[in-house]
Amino acid sequence: MIIGLISNMNSNMKKKIYQAQCIGNVEPIEYMIPYPSMRSLIEGQNIKYSKQIIIEDLSITNFDFYNLVQKTATWLLSKGLKPKDRLIIRGEDPFFKTILLFGVWHLGASAILPGEVPTEVVKSKTTASNEISINKRQFKIILKLTNNFIPTYKPLLNEEALIIFEKGSGIILSHYNLLVNVNSIQKLLPYPSQSRISIKLPCDSISWVIFGSILPIYSSYIIDNSAPDFTIGLKNCNLNLRFDLKNLLTFSDTDIGICPENSGCISFGNSPIHLTNYIISEKKLEITGHSVMMGYLNEITNEKSFYNKTLNLDF
């Protein structure tokens, strides 16, 4: 069950975080995005574009993907996962991991990407009791299951969807965080729907979740590693991810700024994405906007980071 510091967070800290999530006078609740949760994203895309290929290498359509997510949710339920639980997910195959990620969300649970943090440490910080990955043998089992999974819990936009451990302290992100970040990215990409995309990222970070897992589905792109129209990766791609935010003002137009505390993407070139703003000084980065995280797992870190209606990150 999702308990821990977010549910127990004092009202004053919740207010500070919410103030940082506002941009000007625009509060998160005032901006509408097309989907109310990650589960609704795949349902909506299946309704609108069920026959469209979304993974060229495997000839998988939106309809196929939706059915696989349904089957995976059924499998996860058989493994003891319940709505509102937190589940640690591991694995190096981006396809299997995407299916697993959306299966967790479809069931109404929250996923944890532990990075290089040991499992026992992650469990102690998050109250998660289980860890799962999918391999070829397990995938064959999943394929035989029913695709008639009926969710008993449908999370709201402001509820927890993901915890990542990229900077030691766990970072908590909501369904809204993920969807508004991807929505803001889509507005800046010059590639229309059904463009072919190749993602050259390890599948253990928020960068991969946003660009490799959610964006292709949200934007109706076709994952095609053989003949892509554009590539996104760490170097030598059409768009290259940058993590050295101290140098953000020098980024080129093909650089994408990455900030896990801002749900993944913070800038295209040196310009902030939609509904994000930042101020850079010599010592820190001050961020406001709708992509600002739900907070850290660590309450002391929250106290040090959220003040003056801003998320403050030291360089």
Residue 139 has pLDDT above 50, yes or no: yes
Rounded CA-CA distance 64/62 in Å is 5
Q: Which of 142-151, 160-169, 206-215 has the lowest mean pLDDT?
A: 160-169
**31 alpha carbon, distance to own chain's centre:** 19
Instruction: Give the pLDDT confidence score for residue 129 in this predicted structure.
Output: 86
Q: What is the DSSP string of 94-126?
A: HHHHHHHHHHHHHHT-EEEE-TTS-HHHHHHHH
Convert the pLDDT of each residue in 22-35 to its tens digit. Answer: 998 899 988 888 89
- Alpha carbon distance 266, 190 (integer Å): 17
* pLDDT, position 2: 40
CB hemisphere CA count around 248 (13 angstroms): 26
Mean pLDDT on 275-301: 96
Cα 178 → chain centroid: 5
* 141 contact partners, CB below 8 Å, separation of at least 6: 75
**Extents of the domains making up the chain:** 4-235
> What does the alpha-carbon distance between residue 38 and residue 177 come to, in Å, rounded to a whole number?
11
Question: In CATH terms, is domain 4-235 a member of 1.10.150.240?
Answer: no
Distance (Å, whole) CA 106 – CA 85: 12
Residue 244 sits at the vertex; the CA angle it makes with 166 and 173, to the nearest 5 degrees, is 35
Cβ(105)–Cβ(39) under 8 Å? yes
Indicate if the pLDDT at residue 78 is higher than 70: yes
Residues 245 and 278: their CA atoms lie apart, in Å, by: 11
Q: What average pLDDT does the chain have? A: 94
Contacts of 115 (CB under 8 A, 6+ apart): 164, 165, 166, 204, 205
Tokens of 219: 């934007």
Give 188-225 pLDDT, tens digit per residue: 999 999 999 999 999 999 999 999 999 999 999 999 99
* Among 42, 163, 160, residue whose Cα is nearest residue 103: 42
Inform me whether the pLDDT recorded for 5 exceeds 90: no
Region of residue 127 (phi > 0: left; psi between -120 and 50: alpha; otherwise: beta): left
* Phi, psi (rounded to 5 degrees) for 303: -65, -35
Question: Is it the case that residue 166 has pLDDT exceeding 80?
Answer: yes
Cα gap 267→177, rounded to integer Å = 15
Q: How far apart are CA 228 and CA 197, in angstroms?
A: 5
What is the pLDDT at residue 31?
A: 87
Residue entry with tokens 């451990």: 165
Residue 157: is its pLDDT beyond 70? yes
Q: Which residues on adjacent β-strands are paired with residue 272?
A: 267
Q: Please state the separation of Cα 67 from the chain's center in Å.
A: 21
d(CA 102, CA 21): 25
Coil/strand/helix, residue 22? coil
pLDDT in tens, 97-114: 999 999 999 999 999 999
Structure-token pair, residue 127: 């109250």
